[in-house]
Structure formats: C-alpha cells, structure tokens
Structure 1
C-alpha cells in the first residue's frame, strides 16, 4: 500500500493526490478484504465537518480523501502545500469505471431519485447510460435512495447478494458518508464512495458544467445558475477561504 501524503485543512485531513495517484491508491484498496471508504470533500463538506464531529470522524476514518473542489486547491496554496491538481469526484468516478471494466470488477449504484410518471429511477437511467458507454462494465445492481430507516438492512443485504465489488452511494453529504460508515463492517464490497449528484449527470437529468467552467474551477457557478435555490450552500466557499486565511495567520 502506498504511503499517504496528507494535507491538513481546518483540522480535516485530505490526501495530496493527483488523478494518477488517486487511481493507484484506489486499485490497491480494491485488493483489501475490508470495505474501504473513499470521500470526496469540497469546501462545503470541509466546513460542515468542522462543525459536525460525526462527519469529521468519518472523514478521518476514510482510506482515501479526494480533493474535490477548487476551494481546496486555493486553500492548499495559501497553506504553502499546493495540491498538484483538483481531482473532481465525477472525473475520478469516470476513471474508476474504466478501471472496473478493464479489471472485470462490478459496481452497484445506490441512491438518487426513484422512478416517477415521466422516467425510471435515476440510478437505473445512469446504469443504462454507462452500460452503453462501457459495454463490458459489470453492473451488479441498483437501488434508489428513497427509503425508510427500517429498510436499510435489507438494502445492505441486496448489495451484498449482488456480489458487487464496488459501491457508489448517491444520497448527498453527509447522508451518503454516514450510510457507508454505519454499514461498513457488514458491507462485502471492496470499497465504497459517496458520489453526490453524479447519477443525475450520468442519467442526463442534470447537465454538467461546460468545459470552460470545469477548466476554470467554476462548476459551482454553473450549478448555481442551474439551481439558484442553492445560494445558501454557495456561501460556504467564501466563508471557507476566510477561515483558512485566519488559520494561516494564527499558525
């Protein structure tokens, strides 16, 4: 197992990785016996973790913490430990799908919206789109993310019965991380990751930002344009940067 190089941002540990190293670590995790946890925090999740002890502990227990969010790149530069690059969760997931296909490993998609009168469950749409894109990808199963607490154990049983090697959970943060942490010991997958809104992008129910926004670290702005009701969440980035600058001054 590669030795981890860690960056501390507001007391939260983040792996100093680029895409190549992140996939290398992921491939090693897929060889372990236990269910490894992968977390992809942005500045909003880091901010939440500074106020939520449970989330902070979950991130601290993760086997890989991907720097997903331009705010983390800015923060690393302020702290004098610049990250090589931002590793977005959705780009990381695309590389994982390629790895899974090449290594004949299977994936389970859990989360996002259930079916309605207009469409299938988002996880099923996402699975179909990715199956077309990666014909040899083994999709072990799917389950939407709308369920009652008493149904959790049966969902875990369904995931285990599918024989999946890798689990994607799209419940939004921190619910997705909490779900994995809560069932980590009973899950039989090699690794699990929280993927936020990735299923919606894969399914085509939500558009990803054009390349200009991606290349300039402005995906958050495009998301705001699509969903202006997220304005309160967008305030996390400037607050995050102010806190990082304050922490740098105190150090």
Structure 2
C-alpha cells in the first residue's frame, strides 16, 4: 500500500510500518544517500512558510507521517495505520534494526542537552548501538563543511537528525550530494522523548500547534470546495 497523501502541499507516503522498514533496509544496502523523513505537525507548519523547500522535499526517498493528526488531516481512517503512527512503530523497528545489525550512526542535534538526552535514550533503549559521533547544528552558524567532513570521516551507515524544520530539510537538501552515508533519518522535533520543554509546557504547545494546524487544513479544504463550485 502506498497511496501518497498530500498535506499542506507536502507529499507523504502512506506506508505501513513493515512496508516502510522494507524500503529502509533496501536503502541501507545501497550506496547513494537515501533521505527518510518523519514529518510532524510543527514541521509541516514551519515548512509551509518556505515554499521553495517543498520541491526539495519531493525528492526525498521516503516521507512518513509522524503524527496521527497529519493522517486525520488527509482523511485517513485506517485503524492500523493510525495506531502504528501513534506508537511510532516504524521508528522503533528502525532503531532495533540498526542496533541488531551493528550499523554505524552519527547524531545531529541543536543543543548539548538534546545530544545528552538522545545519546542516553539510545544507550538505555538500544544498548550497544554504534554511535560514532554527535554534533550540534546551529541555524545561525551552520559550518556545513565541517559537519559533512566529520560525518564522512566516521564512515557511518546512517545519520539520525533531530533538528527543527526547516533547518533539518535545508541541511540535507544542500549537502545530500556530498554526504557519504546510506541513510539520512530525519526525525525532527517531538517524535523522540528528547529535547522537549517541561512536560506541562510541551503538552500545551503541542495542543495549540495542532489546533492551528487543523484550522489551516479546514480553511484550505473550504477554499478548495469554493473554488470547485466557482469553476462549475
């Protein structure tokens, strides 16, 4: 199953976790860097403000919904798909695979705190993962050349990024052609339990963001309906 859905003009692959994992394993056996991205509500809202970036995202190999709210916006009601998305089943399958198969991983974060939390999460949940390096990426001082050299020098199989949007997408779109890794796994913010604000503050922020997102989706659907009626 892969009927693509479109949310805020971003094409998203409607895969089951097993289907997505099958594709990802195939990517890990190929040489060119393949880009896999789990998009969130916040990420889609941020990317919507950078229209020129959407063409780059269409060239990504696999784009998956990281939040059931995105599926609901596309009128996806399949119970299994929603449950797998809500439980982050694909992400957990991916982490188990790279751990079991001793894949070499490089981590990209935006702060020392995020780096510490992400490293500890992987060590606790997937003890023995081969984390080769970790680097901070700053929107103000990117230092792309140094980061690319560090990643390439580590001879890694996978880069795991938990950068915010659109920084995450801009970085891989610009440097994809010179990265020597097999998979770029863009997880962004909010999917992993790391780098989040305080529990209460985080829940409130997510709630408000989802309300804004839903209103924007409703507005666009309404505008499209009116445009269709006017065209008749």
TM-score scaled by length of structure 1: 0.75
Q: What does the per-residue CA deviation read over 1:73-105, in whole Å, with 9 as the maximum and x for residues that have no partner?
A: 112327xx8685142595533221101012221
Structure 1's 108 and 101: CA in aligned 2 closer, same or farther, altered over 3 A?
A: same
Structure 2 residue matching 1:93: 3-state secondary structure? helix
The answer on whether the counterparts of 2:157 and 2:183 sit within 8 Å (CA) in structure 1 is yes
Deviation at 1:199, TM superposition (A): 8.8
Aligned residue in 2 for 1:39 = 37
Write the distance in 2 (CA, Å) between the matches of 1:89 and 1:163: 31
Q: 1:106 aligns with which of 94, 104, 107?
A: 104
The answer on whether the counterparts of 2:6 and 2:12 sit within 8 Å (CA) in structure 1 is yes
Aligned residue in 1 for 2:148 = 156
Write the distance in 1 (CA, Å) between the matches of 2:154 and 2:98: 16
Structure 1's 36 and 75: CA in aligned 2 closer, same or farther, altered over 3 A?
A: same
Question: CA-atom RMSD, angstroms?
Answer: 3.3
Structure 2 residue matching 1:141: 3-state secondary structure? strand
Write the distance in 1 (CA, Å) between the matches of 2:11 and 2:79: 13
Dislocated runs of 4+, deviation >6 Å: none
Aligned residue in 1 for 2:220 = 243
Aligned residue in 1 for 2:55 = 57
Deviation at 1:49, TM superposition (A): 4.1
Give 5+ residue unaligned stretches, structure 1. 115-120, 209-220
Aligned residue in 2 for 1:131 = 123
TM-score scaled by length of structure 2: 0.80
Q: 1:73 aligns with which of 71, 83, 87?
A: 71
Give 5+ residue unaligned stretches, structure 2. none
Write the distance in 2 (CA, Å) between the matches of 1:98 and 1:242: 40
Aligned residue in 1 for 2:93 = 95
Select between 3-12 and 134-143 the one with higher mean Cα deviation. 3-12
Structure 1's 250 and 82: CA in aligned 2 closer, same or farther, altered over 3 A?
A: farther
